[in-house]
Structure 1
Amino acid sequence: MKPTVFIHTSSHEIVSGKVAMYSHMRASKHLDKFDIQLIQLEDYPHLIKRHGQSCIRFGKEAAWYKDVPQSFLPLRFLVPQLMGYEGRAILTDPDIFAVRDAYELLTRDMGNKAILCREFGDKYKGYNSSVMLLDCSKLKHWKWEERIDEIFASKLDIQDWISLRTEPEEIIGTFEQEWNDYDSLTQKTKFLHNTRQITQPWKTGLPFKEKNMSNYNKGDKEETRWEKLYDVVKYNKYGKRQLFKSIKNIILYGEAKLYQKHPDVKQEKLFLSLLKESVNKGLVTSELLQSEVKQGHIRPDIFNILQSVSYSPSDVLQTVS
């Protein structure tokens, strides 16, 4: 198989996944030398059927849910199997957008390692697997269905798996942070990662369902608006102004918080310009956007916003210092 960039996603994040896919097409001058594919959660019944089932995370009982933003995370470890355990592949999240050519990463010296990725900071142990360069021939022990079975038999902590703590240290190397640049767009950035969910530009103004941000909250049930109002009044720590704002949001939108405008206008413009080009080229259809707006996955003003986008991704990147 050709080297491949895989973007794992779900129906909740299909638009950002397609925009991420387009960003690689746009950024590369070597598209004849590698493929780009989406891996979508709904295509894998071996995981989908686990909806609501118990697992262990951070040493505590948790559960996995299919209908929350990060439900696709276990798909990361399917890549070597999809590659037939041959060749190289890159895996990324659907909120990671290529600013530079992925072929540069696909062809770099891996130093005989099986995995290159970014290491977590001091607060965490392990590695951030949201972007990985993989030598699939060295990962034949990644048997995805077997590992899923182990996770839901509570034989393995899913956080240890996601953080690569189950892998021998000697097979993992690290790459520069610019290949997984957290919420920072500079001249050095190669892959921009919009890690802060509450400021992701495609969701601005939508209700922010805080309990859904982790798909491992065991036993959480949907609260009524009255219960949410009671909680914000009882646990308010931010003064009257924020309290009144939270109450208003719950009454109008059903949640105390809303997705916020991204603080970096250049990152917002980059995404919106990539989305507009994706629509113009037919990779993201108007019908898909309308459906995602209706389902509450995409900000409701997206069509008006796109009409006002008069700049290209190149225009945005030229302003980056």
Structure 2
Amino acid sequence: MALRIFIGWDSREGECSDVLAYSLRKHSSIPLEIKYLRLPDLAFNRTHDPLQSTEFTYTRFLVPFLCGYQGKAIFMDCDMLCLGDIKELDDLKMDGLALRVVKHDHRPPEKVKMDGKVQTVYPRKNWSSLMVMNCDHLRLWTKQVVETQTGGYLHRFQDVPDEQIDEIPNTWNVLDRMDAQTKLIHYTSGGPWFDNYRDHPFGKIWLDYRDEYRLHAAA
């Protein structure tokens, strides 16, 4: 059975989702079923939050609902690049767990990010940017809950017992840098697809993968 992966999709950076999907498939030793969380496809009824930085700020929490609350699925922000075999995350045991995440202590100094969006600071920031989900244990995230609950409630995993939230190796969600051990780089403030971040110190590798993706797509 293919590993289900849901990638956030935003109309301002749609190619990012394509590049991430390409990088996942390039390194994967297992079959992948990759889907994008496009707002027009989701019949999502939530008032726009002026603090949300992407179109998938809230829709990521629909993944268990979209999977019928069955099996395992992974959610990923689109502003990532995979450099390792995602099978490593698929192999992690989920018995008795609801989630696995990288438990960042992320306190960004910037006041703005991406294309001028406000940079917010809150507990468990970026924990929800990469989630391995045991969908059966996340029945509390109903469509109605995701459409109505606060951002704090959702992104801090309120009402998910702490003992059901385990870790992913931190090499799988490395924020704005990379080294020889990095399996996945996450461009949290903005990547080289934005004019303001063309000179990101680790932007060239993303641009190289983008060029590979474009050649592959055109073939």
User: Which among 101, 110, 125 is matched to residue 85 of structure 2?
Assistant: 101
- Structure 1 pair 272–149 and aligned structure 2 pair: CA distance change class (3 A): closer
- Structure 1 pair 142–2 and aligned structure 2 pair: CA distance change class (3 A): farther
Q: 1:87-140 CA distances to partner (integer Å, 9 max, x unpaired)?
A: 111110000111101111012123531100022317543361000011112222
CA contact (8 A) 1:12 1:69 kept: no
Under a length normalisation based on structure 2, what TM-score does the superposition of the two structures give?
Answer: 0.83
Q: 1:62-107 CA distances to partner (integer Å, 9 max, x unpaired)?
A: x348xx7512110111111122211111110000111101111012
Distance in 2, Cα, partners of 1:118 & 1:161 = 16
Alignment-derived partner of residue 84 in structure 1: 68
Shift of 1:270: 1.3
Under a length normalisation based on structure 1, what TM-score does the superposition of the two structures give?
Answer: 0.58
Alignment of 1:100-179 (within 5 A): 100-110=84-94, 112-121=96-105, 124-126=122-124, 128-144=127-143, 146-151=144-149, 157-179=150-172
1:40 equivalent in alignment to 2:31: no
Q: Describe the SS at the equivalent of 2:153.
A: helix
Q: Describe the SS at the equivalent of 2:12.
A: helix
Shift of 1:3: 2.5
Distance in 1, Cα, partners of 2:11 & 2:183 = 26
Shift of 1:159: 2.0
Alignment-derived partner of residue 116 in structure 2: none
1:260 equivalent in alignment to 2:197: yes
Q: Describe the SS at the equivalent of 2:55.
A: coil
Distance in 1, Cα, partners of 2:168 & 2:208 = 28
Q: Describe the SS at the equivalent of 2:17.
A: helix
Q: 1:284-310 CA distances to partner (integer Å, 9 max, x unpaired)?
A: x9xxxxxxxxxxxxxxxxxxxxxxxxx
Q: Describe the SS at the equivalent of 1:202.
A: coil
Alignment-derived partner of residue 22 in structure 1: 22
Distance in 2, Cα, partners of 1:89 & 1:20 = 16
Alignment-derived partner of residue 11 in structure 1: 11
CA contact (8 A) 1:85 1:136 kept: yes
Structure 1 residue runs without a partner (length 5+): 52-62, 152-156, 205-258, 286-321
Structure 2 residue runs without a partner (length 5+): 108-121
Alignment-derived partner of residue 74 in structure 1: 58
CA contact (8 A) 2:61 2:154 kept: no
Distance in 2, Cα, partners of 1:185 & 1:276 = 20
Distance in 1, Cα, partners of 2:12 & 2:97 = 34
Higher-Rg member (1/2): 1
CA contact (8 A) 1:28 1:100 kept: yes
What is the root-mean-square deviation in Å for CA atoms of aligned residues?
2.3
**Alignment coverage as a number of residue pairs:** 204
- Structure 1 pair 43–29 and aligned structure 2 pair: CA distance change class (3 A): same
**One-letter code of the match for 2:123?**
K
CA contact (8 A) 2:63 2:75 kept: yes
Distance in 1, Cα, partners of 2:147 & 2:6 = 23
